[in-house]
Amino acid sequence: MFTTLNISKSDDYNLSIADSQRLFELTHRSVKVSIIIVLGVMITLGNIAVLLVITSSVAGWSRSSRYFLLSLTAADSAFGLLVMPLNLWVSLLKDYSEGPDALCHVVAFCNATVYSTCMYTLASISLERYIAVFYPLQYSSLLTRRNTLLLIALAWCVPPCLLSPIPFPGAIIEVHFSTASLVCNLSYSTNVGYSLSMTCLIFFPCSIIMTYANLRVWRAAKRQRLKLRKYCGARRRRHDVASRVLVPVMAAYYTCWTPCMAALIYNALSGSSVPEWIEFVVVWLPTSNGFLNCIFYFWINRSFRRKFHLILQRLALALCPKLAKTLGLCTTSRTQIVSGILHNNNSVHERSSSVSSTCTLLSLT
């Protein structure tokens, strides 16, 4: 009888531990899902605002510039509209106790493609900025409409080609669903060579191009700023465009992407995964770059903010004139609106640089 009682107590104790563990896992899962949803909403809303502006002309942004920035906005929007919904759907509706299936392979392919396209697009923008600053007279001939669209096509078509083995179950690539990061990932322990080769073909080339191009532009801007300080005095010290744009862009890029790549290499070489929350953070951290790009590439720019305010005024007046008058959104003088329209349609800027902040780097003199 005592043995029976001991067994029943032991079973109850084990059940309570299992229930507590289950509740703990559900709590962590809910927190992770909430973080992903909030991040996805921020990325989507930020890039919708960007699309409203760059689909029209903005002062200082050439046609090629808008093409590259539209490509970046599309790649960033894919984080919130494709990557996050797919992985949340898989994590909430599928049971992966028996292993991966064809759906997980497709989701992993979409994840890797969007991540890679975003890196290639950032590298293309850095290259375009480099040409605009150091070869302004050859800018129109080097970055013609055809060449610009070709670079954008390469940024979107090369990643699917490199990652083509992933969506096919039973191929050389193994995919599993990670309960730690809620993402369909490659099994890095069994795909060491492929994982490392993709890192060498995608992350490192893009990082080298971005670092070299932005560093050269920053040094050129610094030399110009020193000359202005020498000949114009302290009045020109406020024109520190490079530190205000290029430094945050590169800092955000390496902060968001380096931990993910480091964890990928560690998993591939060691065959073991990092702790649960570290894996969640490093896997989803690159998606936050899709929101930070909206700030560093767009909202810092004065011309962008002016155009966005003008668009908001027009939308408010068109949708709800009475509310717009009540909130004072239509108090802008006619002279300001006309000057803003003329400034945005100025064709002189069509042959300069990618972003108006970059355009001013070598034109301050």
Q: Give the Cα separation of 210 and 72 in Å (integer).
A: 14
Q: Give the Cα separation of 275 and 279 in Å (integer).
A: 6
Confidence of residue 124 (pLDDT cuts 50, 70, 90): very high
User: Residue 292 above 70 pLDDT?
Assistant: yes
Per the listing, tokens 């050859």 go with: 138
Q: Give the Cα separation of 44 and 107 in Å (integer).
A: 19
User: Residue 195 above 60 pLDDT?
Assistant: yes
User: Residue 159 above 90 pLDDT?
Assistant: yes
Q: What is the pTM of this model?
A: 0.78
Tell me the average pLDDT of the chain: 76
Coil, strand or helix: which one is 177?
Answer: strand
* Per-residue pLDDT at 92: 78
Distance of CA 365 to the CA centre of its chain: 33
Report the range of poorest mean pLDDT among 134-138, 152-156, 244-248: 244-248
Q: Please name the fold of domain 14-359.
A: Rhopdopsin 7-helix transmembrane proteins (1.20.1070)
Q: How many CB atoms lie within 10 A of CB 332?
A: 13
Q: Which residue has the higher pLDDT, 174 or 41?
A: 41
* Per-residue pLDDT at 152: 95
User: Residue 6 above 70 pLDDT?
Assistant: no
* Per-residue pLDDT at 184: 85
So where are the chain's domains?
Answer: 14-359
User: Residue 349 above 50 pLDDT?
Assistant: no
Q: Which residue has the higher pLDDT, 61 or 31?
A: 31
Report the range of poorest mean pLDDT among 117-131, 232-246, 292-306: 232-246
Give mean pLDDT, residues 135-157. Answer: 91
User: Residue 115 above 80 pLDDT?
Assistant: yes
Name every residue whose Cβ is closer than 8 Å to that of residue 198 and which is 6 or more positions away in sequence: 112, 116, 162, 163
* Per-residue pLDDT at 222: 81
Q: Which residue has the higher pLDDT, 193 or 262?
A: 262
User: Residue 2 above 60 pLDDT?
Assistant: no
* Per-residue pLDDT at 322: 63
User: Residue 154 above 80 pLDDT?
Assistant: yes
Query: What long-range pairs does 107-111 form, CB within 8 A, spacing at least 24?
Result: 107/184, 108/166, 108/167, 108/175, 108/184, 108/185, 108/186, 109/160, 109/163, 109/166, 109/167, 110/82, 110/83, 110/86, 111/83, 111/86, 111/87, 111/183, 111/184, 111/185
How do residues 214-262 score in pLDDT, each as one tens digit? 999 888 888 877 777 777 655 545 555 666 778 888 888 999 999 988 8
Q: Which residue has the higher pLDDT, 9 or 299?
A: 299
Residue 108 φ then ψ, to 5°: -65, -35
